[in-house]
């Protein structure tokens, strides 16, 4: 039973490492989120060392804390909003669009989008990795189509099957003048 628990723990740590624990901001993990992930890993290692089984409630609590920190960071601050509005010349609203590989999003009539960032994950609710290997247009105008990529090197980090990848576009939407 102990060998099985160690095997499962090793698998969990490897999966966590592959999906979210890149210390580089190039992968889109902010320092405050990385600190929480590091704390969770230390707790997992401590529990395994003591031979205690992983409690599902405790793991879920760790994940809730990490996701809450990600949500806090992902919320557009008032300073960010003012800077965005200054750059586009009108009121900007933060929007998020998520879709699997091959999904297309069309800019609504009378609107324009400025892409703030693109992330990918192995599914809804999983840890997100910042996509930097693909360049997208700086701005899209009404009727333009934004297509999720069919492949990205970042997506290869989270899943072997690219069809399982969920891309999330964070855009500033504003009125055309």
Angle between helices 2-19 and 31-49 (to 10 degrees): 170
Which residues, including other chains, have CB under 8 Å from residue 145's CB and lie 6 or more apart? 104, 105, 106, 107
In the chain, % of residues over pLDDT 70 = 68
How far, rounded to the nearest angstrom, does the alpha carbon of residue 152 sit from its chain's CA centroid? 14
Neighbours of 154 (CB within 10 A): 25
Whole-number Å distance between alpha carbons of 54 and 62:
12
pLDDT at 88: 57
Q: Which span out of 6-20, 38-52, 140-154 was modeled with the highest average pLDDT?
A: 140-154
pLDDT at 26: 41
In the chain, % of residues over pLDDT 90 = 6
Q: Which long-range contacts (CB under 8 A, 24 or more apart) does 17-26 make?
A: 18/157, 18/158, 19/121, 19/122, 19/126, 19/127, 19/129, 19/157, 19/158, 20/127, 20/129, 22/129, 22/157, 26/130, 26/132
pLDDT in tens, 22-37: 444 445 566 677 777 7
| Threshold 0.75, pTM exceeds | no
The band of 7, judged by pLDDT with boundaries at 50, 70 and 90, is: low
pLDDT in tens, 69-127: 777 766 656 666 666 666 656 677 888 888 888 889 999 998 989 888 888 888 666 67
Whole-number mean pLDDT of the chain? 75
């Amino acid at each position: 039973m102990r060998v099985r628990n160690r095997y499962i723990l090793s698998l969990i740590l490897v999966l966590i490492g592959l999906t979210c624990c890149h210390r580089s901001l190039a992968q889109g993990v902010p320092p405050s989120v990385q600190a929480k992930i590091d704390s969770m890993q230390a707790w997992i290692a401590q529990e395994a060392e003591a031979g205690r089984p992983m409690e599902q409630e405790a793991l879920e609590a760790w994940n809730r804390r990490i996701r809450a920190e990600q949500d806090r960071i992902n919320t557009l601050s008032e300073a960010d909003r003012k800077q965005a509005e200054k750059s586009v010349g009108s009121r900007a609203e933060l929007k998020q669009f998520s879709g699997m590989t091959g999904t297309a999003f069309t800019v609504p009539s009378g609107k324009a989008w400025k892409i703030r960032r693109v992330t990918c994950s192995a599914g809804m609710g999983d840890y997100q990795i910042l996509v930097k290997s693909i360049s997208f247009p700086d701005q899209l105008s009404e009727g333009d189509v934004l297509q999720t990529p069919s492949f990205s090197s970042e997506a290869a980090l989270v899943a072997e099957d690219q069809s399982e990848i969920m891309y999330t576009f964070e855009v500033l939407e504003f009125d055309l003048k």
